[in-house]
Structure 1
Amino acid sequence: MSIREEFEKREKSFMSPFGCLSAESRGRIKTEISCPIRTAFQVDKDRIVYSNAFRRLKHKTQVFLSPLGDHYRTRLTHTLEVAQIARTIARAMRLNEDLTEAIALGHDLGHTPFGHSGETGLKEIFSKGFSHNEQSLRVIEVLENKGKGLNLTYEVRDGILKHSKGYGSIVPDDPNDQPCTAEGKVVRFADIMAYLNHDLDDAIRSRVIRADQVPESCSRVLGHSHWERATTMMRDIIFSSEIRAEDFQLNMSSEVCSAMSTLRHFLYENVYRSPQVHEEFIKAKKILSELYARLLNDRDLLWNELKKMEMEEVRHNGDSHERTVCDLIASMTDRYALDLYSAIFFPSPFV
């Protein structure tokens, strides 16, 4: 018996009946020989962490564009916080920690530069249907590994595609929009828990808001610090979830859920839509719009930039020219987009 098979056997002995066993994955698009050491979901986790797209997250905006302070979150640190929260919940519920972590680590691989302003920009200039969760799936299936994709398992791909909620409901009304695994559902909750906490933390640090402006009901129920709020949210979902009609339902108490909704609304109104943040987002959309137009009309520049990003094989996969430009821009980091914009549109001094 291999090390992987021994671990798969151990999973059956301790995992909840609602957890997704590694040995029972629906498999990959392309069949592979199983690793003798790692389970299928452990392999997926490694492939995500070693990908170019994952490394680029360190220079992609979470909320505050090009922050100079060392302690502001980036898309990478957000991802790591989501993974930590999700794994803590999965462990307490005896779900598959490796599957949970793989989904969490890959959920934002398709996020654009400049945060949600970049996503909004690509909706306007490329397609109204553009979304970072679908782009994340495209990254792992088409763009990574020089056009070969990462060939991840069905469960990880499903969780990444269905993690997103925007400003909508945490649990979608349509069952088809929900992840097929309990682990994927945990990541949806962990994502909002993470960003509510760290975006509030960063907003206070940047003086966009003051701590005393946070609604009293949120502080009273959730706590006054990042650690207190995260702990309250994790404990609540762990102890409020239940089995209904032989199905495992992730739930939160009405008190904590209400406090989270209030905090979420407060952040949207006072941080994400604040003049300080909004003005920078307008600038970011302008940068991406002008880059898109230039790359669309300068194929030599486009192919050169694709090569730099190790994405040159993308142009051979049959997609439209517009789709290729969108893929390149969505893959850029904030600083890559800024540097390219400067090189193209700013005058170069004569020596």
Structure 2
Amino acid sequence: MIIRQQTQEIEKNTLHPRACLSANTRGRQTPEKEGDIRTCFQRDRDRIIHCKSFRRLKHKTQVFLAPKGDHYRTRLTHVLEVAQISRTIARALRLNEDLTEAIALGHDLGHTPFGHAGEAVLRKIHPGGFDHYVQSLRVVDVLEKNGSGLNLTYEVRNGIIKHSKGMGKILSDSPNDMADTLEGQVVRISDVIAYVNHDLDDALRAEVIHKKDIPDDISSVLGKSHSKRIDTMVRDLIYNTLETGLDKITMSDGIMAAVNQLRSFLYTKVYESAKLKEEFHKAENIVQSLYTYYAEHAGLIPNVIDKDKAYAAGDGLLTHVCDFIAGMTDRFALMNFEKIFIPQRWTVF
């Protein structure tokens, strides 16, 4: 028996009956022979980690634009925290950790430079709008590997496209909003657990808010420290889900209410704060200016992908521009903006 088959047998014998077994995957868009060591979900995880879009996440904003401190989160540290929380939950529930990790690591590959400020601009000016979760799926399906895509399994792709909720219900009652697998649903809520806690931590560090600003009814339920809040949320999710027999991923009403209150607090006091909005407006101007410029000078977009592969019938010039802008890191966007729009100093000898 080859190693992959041994792993699949271990999954079958040890995981929960409702876990997604790698042997039962719905497959890839383009069928391919599986390896003799790694399962399909392990290969998906590795393909994501080694792709260029994943590496660029280290220079993409989470919340704070171009922070001077070394300890602020980036989009890369965010997905790593989501992966850690997701794996903790998946292991406790005897779900497939490899599938959970692959979804977590790939869920934000389509995020724009400057975080949600960049996304808001593209949503407004790009025909048909823009959503980072749709772009994340486009990255793995089309844009990576010189326009060939990563050819991931259905389950990972489904988890990526279904992870986002905005200000909607974290755990929706509508099957259309939720991932088909419990592993994908775990990532959806782990995304929230991660960002409400690390964004709060970063906001305190940046002195956008202070500890006294956090409502007492949030702290009394979730805890007063970063680690305590995460522990409260994760433990509540695990034990309440176990009580359902894994019929659904769920939290108790009291903890879910506190999580939603914390999320609303962050939107009001942090994301919409005057200090951040001032910087967001600057970022929005950069993204809009670059989009307009490259729409008129598309020939200057580096030829880093095979356009015949990446742009099938119906994909036009502005899609090419949008892909280029969305793939930029913060510093690459700033560098291009400066090169295009800021007069260069003359060097006098």
Which bracket does the TM-score occupy, shorter chain normalised? over 0.9
**Equivalent AA in structure 2 for residue 330 of structure 1:** A
| Bigger shift: residues 46-55 or 249-258 | 249-258
Name the residue aligned to 2:258: 259
Query: Superposition pairs for residues 59-98 of structure 1, below 5 Å?
Result: 59-98=59-98
Distance 1:128 1:148 in 2: 23
Distance 1:207 1:176 in 2: 39
Count of paired positions: 345
CA apart distance, 1:241:
1.2
Distance 1:228 1:183 in 2: 24
**Gap regions ≥5 residues in structure 1:** none
Tell me the SS of whatever aligns to 1:252. Answer: coil
Distance 2:127 2:229 in 1: 37
Contact 1:144 1:150 in 2 (8 A): yes
Describe the shift of the 1:54–1:22 C-alpha distance in structure 2 as closer, same or farther (beyond 3 A): same
Name the residue aligned to 2:293: 294
Distance 1:315 1:251 in 2: 39
Contact 2:139 2:149 in 1 (8 A): yes
Name the residue aligned to 2:271: 272
Distance 1:332 1:349 in 2: 25
**Equivalent AA in structure 1 for residue 317 of structure 2:** H
Tell me the SS of whatever aligns to 2:346. Answer: coil
CA apart distance, 1:41:
0.1
Name the residue aligned to 1:24: 24
The answer to whether the aligner puts 1:146 opposite 2:146 as a matched pair is yes
Distance 1:147 1:346 in 2: 32
Tell me the SS of whatever aligns to 1:248. Answer: coil
CA apart distance, 1:258:
1.3
Name the residue aligned to 1:179: 179
Distance 1:34 1:248 in 2: 31
**Equivalent AA in structure 1 for residue 205 of structure 2:** R
CA apart distance, 1:247:
6.4
Contact 2:21 2:96 in 1 (8 A): yes
Distance 2:276 2:312 in 1: 37
Query: Superposition pairs for residues 1-351 of structure 1, below 5 Å?
Result: 1-242=1-242, 248-302=247-301, 304=302, 307=303, 310-313=304-307, 317-318=312-313, 319-351=315-347
Superposed CA deviations along residues 232-258 of structure 1, whole A, max 9, x for unmatched, are: 1000000011576x8621111111111
Distance 1:233 1:20 in 2: 24
Distance 2:139 2:12 in 1: 32
**Equivalent AA in structure 2 for residue 232 of structure 1:** T
Distance 1:290 1:266 in 2: 32
**Equivalent AA in structure 2 for residue 146 of structure 1:** N
Describe the shift of the 1:341–1:312 C-alpha distance in structure 2 as closer, same or farther (beyond 3 A): farther
Contact 1:243 1:249 in 2 (8 A): no
Distance 2:177 2:195 in 1: 21
The sequence identity of aligned pairs, in percent, is 54
CA apart distance, 1:173:
3.7
Structure 2 length as normaliser, TM-score?
0.96
Distance 1:139 1:41 in 2: 18
Tell me the SS of whatever aligns to 2:321. Answer: helix
CA apart distance, 1:349:
1.3
Superposed CA deviations along residues 111-161 of structure 1, whole A, max 9, x for unmatched, are: 000000111000111035310000000000000000000000000000000
Distance 2:172 2:196 in 1: 19
Superposed CA deviations along residues 216-242 of structure 1, whole A, max 9, x for unmatched, are: 111111111111111110000000115
Distance 1:91 1:156 in 2: 18
Describe the shift of the 1:336–1:292 C-alpha distance in structure 2 as closer, same or farther (beyond 3 A): same
Tell me the SS of whatever aligns to 1:23. Answer: helix
Contact 1:28 1:153 in 2 (8 A): yes
Contact 1:112 1:330 in 2 (8 A): yes
CA apart distance, 1:332:
0.3
Tell me the SS of whatever aligns to 2:247. Answer: strand
Distance 1:7 1:299 in 2: 48
Runs of 4+ aligned residues of structure 1 deviating over 2 Å after TM superposition are: 310-318
| Bigger shift: residues 15-24 or 214-223 | 214-223
Describe the shift of the 1:128–1:281 C-alpha distance in structure 2 as closer, same or farther (beyond 3 A): farther
Superposed CA deviations along residues 54-85 of structure 1, whole A, max 9, x for unmatched, are: 00000000000011100000000000000000
- CA RMSD across the alignment: 1.3
**Equivalent AA in structure 1 for residue 6 of structure 2:** E
**Equivalent AA in structure 2 for residue 131 of structure 1:** D
**Equivalent AA in structure 2 for residue 189 of structure 1:** I
CA apart distance, 1:174:
2.4
Superposed CA deviations along residues 167-205 of structure 1, whole A, max 9, x for unmatched, are: 111122421221000000000010000000000000000
Contact 2:298 2:317 in 1 (8 A): no
Describe the shift of the 1:222–1:247 C-alpha distance in structure 2 as closer, same or farther (beyond 3 A): closer
Distance 1:311 1:197 in 2: 37
Tell me the SS of whatever aligns to 1:13. Answer: helix
